Amino acid sequence: MIRNTKHVRNVAVVRPNCIARGEVPLTTSSTVETVSTPDASEEEPTLRQPAKWIGTAALPARRLEDTLDLPIDERVPPPPEIRYVPVPVPVYPPKYGPPPPKRQPPPRYPPRHPPRYPPPGYQYRKKTRKWPWVLLTMVLLCGGCCGGAFLWSKQIYDQYPATAATDAAVAGLTAVDDANADKVVSRLRGAIDTEQIDEARFSIVYRDTNKRRVTVFGTTRLVTDPKKAIDTSMTELTGELQLTDVHKVDAGPLGGQERCGTGRLDGRSISMCAWTDHGSVGVGIFSGRSIEASSPMLQEIRAAIIQRG
Cβ–Cβ under 8 Å, residues 170 and 206: yes
Helices (H), the chain: 16-20, 131-159, 179-188, 226-241, 291-305
Which range of 72-76, 152-156, 239-243 scores highest in mean pLDDT? It is 239-243
Q: Could you read off the pLDDT of 267-281 as tens digits, one per residue?
A: 899 999 999 999 999
- Report phi then psi at 208, rounded to 5: -95, -170
Which secondary structure element, helix H or strand E, spans residue 308, and what is its range? strand 306-308
CA torsion, ordered 62, 65, 66, 70, to nearest 10 deg: 110
| SS3 readout for 158-182 | HHCCEEECCCCCCCCCEEECCHHHH
Across 9-18, 34-43, 133-142, least confident range:
9-18
179-188 vs 226-241: helix crossing angle, rounded to 10: 120
**Buried-exposed string 229-246: b where 16+ CB fall within 10 A, e elsewhere:** bbebbbeebbeebebeeb
Query: What pLDDT does residue 24 have?
Result: 45
Q: Is 274 helix (H, G, I), strand (E, B) or coil?
A: strand
Domains and CATH numbers, the chain: 1-44 (no CATH), 162-308 (3.40.1000)
Q: Examine the pLDDT at 99 and tell me if it is beyond 80.
A: no
Could you tell me which residue, 295 or 67, shows the higher pLDDT? 295
Separation between Cα atoms, residue 64 and residue 7, nearest integer Å: 18
Cβ–Cβ under 8 Å, residues 185 and 193: no
How far is residue 72 from each of residues 51, 66, 75, 190, measured CA to CA in Å?
A: 18, 13, 5, 139
Helices (H), 2-103: 16-20
Cβ neighbourhood burial of 281 (10 Å; 0-12, 13-18, 19+): buried
| Dmax (CA) of the chain | 199
Listing DSSP states for 210-241 in one string gives: T--EEEEEEEE---S-HHHHHHHHHHHHHHHH
Which range of 82-91, 141-150, 290-299 scores highest in mean pLDDT? It is 290-299
Mean pLDDT to the nearest integer, 205-209: 92
Cβ–Cβ under 8 Å, residues 309 and 157: no
* Residue 276 identity: T
Which distant-in-sequence residues (6+ apart) come within 8 Å of 304 by Cβ?
A: 165, 168, 169, 170
Cβ–Cβ under 8 Å, residues 206 and 284: no
Q: Examine the pLDDT at 44 and tell me if it is beyond 70.
A: no
What is the percentage of the chain residues whose pLDDT exceeds 70?
Answer: 70
Cβ–Cβ under 8 Å, residues 286 and 265: no
- Report phi then psi at 138, rounded to 5: -65, -40
Which distant-in-sequence residues (6+ apart) come within 8 Å of 94 by Cβ?
A: none
pTM of structure: 0.53
Helix (H) and strand (E) counts for the chain? 5, 11
Across 47-56, 58-67, 177-186, 280-289, least confident range:
47-56
